[in-house]
Amino acid sequence: MEKHSPQGWLAASLLLTVCLAGCDRSDPSREALNSEMTDDRPANTNEQRPEPPLAEQRDHVVSAPAGDRNDPWYWLRDDERADPDMLAYLEAENDYTETMLADLSDLRETLFEEMRSRIKEDDSTAPYFDRGYWYYTRYETGREYPIHARREGSLDAEEQILLDVNELAEGHDFYSVGDRDVSMSGRYLAWLEDTVGRRQYRLYIRDLATGEDFDTGLTGLSSVSWSAEDEVLYYVENEPETLRSWRVRRYRVGSGEPGEIVHQEDDTAFYASVGRTTSNAYNTIYLRSTVASEMRIVEADAVDRPLRVFYPRQRDHEYRADHLGDRWIIRTNFEAPNFRIVSAPLDAHAERDRWEDVIAHRDDVFVHDFDTFDEFLAVSERSEGLRQIRILDWDSGESKLLDFQEPAYTAVLGTNRDQSAGTLRFVYSSLKTPKSTWELDVESGERKLLKREEVPGGHDPSEYRTRREWATARDGTRVPVSILYHRDTPLDGSAPLYQYAYGSYGSTVDPSFLTSRLSLVDRGFVFAIAHVRGGQVMGRHWYDDGRMLNKINTFNDFVDVTDHMVQAGLVDAERVFAMGGSAGGLLMGAVANRAPERYRGIVAHVPFVDIVTTMLDESIPLTTNEYDEWGNPGDPEYYEYMLSYSPYDNVAEQDYPAMLVTTGLWDSQVQYWEPAKWVAKLRVHKTDDNPLLLTTNMEAGHGGASGRFRRLAQTAMDYAFFLDLAGLAETEGQEDT
């Protein structure tokens, strides 16, 4: 897709209302605009604020089987990203945001430099061993992107750089490496490149022996995996209109042809990806919808054979399998809502009556994942909301959990590629404990710290406190809350609250460490993760109770967590702030409509706020795959339910919190026009004087800016926005933090 930028268009004056059709588009220069403003203007002084942009309203009917709706801002949608009126509006909003935040520029810069200073610039990951090489990723001082490298046989061997992403990114406003895979011989590297931010990748191959690169010319891809032969690999191409990963090809390097189609997924609810088993003995195609999955397998050295179905798909059956010696190890939710681990003979994987329990189903434990070893099995599971690791000995059949001491933490499986190893890599973190990579000797129980995230300038976990709270939702459900605060911050109702949640797709936001949060916590904020329904923190039922016709539970849980934090006397009711992104941005939009008085400010990143219109349009990426998450609005029951909470459709004549909304012009997951339309509608209907700001990254997609430092600028903007609203923008206390 060609990248467009506005040509010959300037943002309309921010001192006048923006009218994008039939208006005079002459624009004073930024310098002239700035000269009309005094440097000492308070950030939120209404009398001296510029007028916000107002997008023109143009009648447009969105049809649905259950009824039609008028959407006067539908015109902001332009699939080509080229409409000059639309681009002018987005640029005007960007200018308005920068003007409104002009007096916070010093604070934003301070926050940015502070957060950057906590990133170890010349850092590297803990190396892992795979097929004769030690692989790792490292960063160099001052450089935005990673360098992927390896050493043969020993960590003392000479370094070989696989990809220097800094070099690849030169000349690009946005650059991202997607999937990558080293051939089984170790000679060739295949990688996917995105220079727009739309996650439609181009395939390149590098001969690691000569350093020569080969551009395959294949674009619009999503994943790649080598067979046992250096000349043959599998890749997934996306459907051009919906961008759904749907077709798998077996490609012969240098053939000049795209390769034979080995699978085409015609069920629009399913997405495809390719990979290999940990043993490297089988290539796999993994097909997944919201509620079902299916694997296809073929021996990695059988490059001319058709793939066969591992176990036929069935609605509400999800599974994943890995090969170990003479058997398959399978995670399945057949007759096991929280999943179980079973084994099957190598040639009987499609015979479910020959599946035998390894880890039986438990009502109070959710099984996330597993890693297979010759001597033992490592299982990632969740109990009482905490992510834990269980080790099962194959010989004795006995299993045990690894023990950790903190009240709220995350322990997950690390990178384990060698099935013959007697050690397990795992990663431990908490809200106050930096990410730590450990190696466990399974036989002796000895743990060895391989790598702990270093915080330049020092980080003392004893300076911080973590705790878990249980908030009672309005229907009586107990909702867990993970909390971080500085030891000097009293939980007596005087501290501001930053509350975060996601709450969709069964995705759980675990209590792990993030250095950027310290910039708020050190300034007196209480940070809280509300583990609302729609995730899977308490098991599969937690997800089912927060999707489809139960989705409103997600929104209620979030508000009820806020009420608990306030009513328990932990935080200041007048300084409660909320943040969420993507589907969590939908949550922010719903909360803003339903309980605006609870929140002083809200940040919504790439928010999915126009759910009904989007889910009615099957041409938009992700739509058909998500009917089992949100429902199909073609069905009147789901249409009415979705319409009852859709943030865009429920904007009302009422006061709203101060709001900062972000989007990316090239976003393929939540299209830019959803946040843009939402803000345009809010501007017309809201009855308050609180700031409403929209910022669009004109060079990026769903993940925002590329590069490890550049993305901190958005976080600095978020934090400055909240600190100002909390009355803390002028009381830095930098010497003490």
Return phi, psi of residue 661, to 5°.
Answer: -120, 135
The CA-CA-CA angle for residues 445, 446, 452, to 5°, reads 125
d(CA 670, CA 623): 10
d(CA 428, CA 438): 8
Closest listed residue to residue 486, CA positions, set 522, 540, 433, 537: 522
Q: What torsion do the CA atoms of 395, 401, 402, 405 make, to the nearest 10 degrees?
A: -160
Q: Which tokens hold the place of 363?
A: 């009502």
d(CA 490, CA 505): 35
Longest dimension (CA), the chain: 80
Determine contact, residues 251/231, Cβ cutoff 8 Å. Answer: no
Q: Which tokens hold the place of 493?
A: 């109702």
**Element at 612 (helix H, strand E):** helix 611-616
Determine contact, residues 419/372, Cβ cutoff 8 Å. Answer: yes
Q: Tell me how far CA of residue 371 lies from CA of 357, 387, 421, 424, 596, in angstroms.
A: 16, 15, 11, 9, 45
**Element at 400 (helix H, strand E):** strand 399-401
Give the number of other CB atoms < 10 A from CB of residue 356.
10
Q: Report which residue type is found at 247.
A: R
Which residues are marked as active site? 582, 667, 702
Closest listed residue to residue 707, CA positions, set 336, 318, 174, 263: 174
Per-residue 3-state assignment (H helix, E strand, C coil) for 575-589:
CEEEEEECHHHHHHH
Q: Report which residue type is found at 689.
A: D
d(CA 647, CA 587): 8
Angle between the 552-567 and 583-594 helix axes, to the nearest 10 degrees?
Answer: 60
Helices (H) and strands (E) in the chain, counts: 13, 38
Closest listed residue to residue 107, CA positions, set 448, 520, 398, 492: 520
d(CA 472, CA 559): 11
d(CA 424, CA 377): 10
Q: Which tokens hold the place of 286?
A: 């993994």
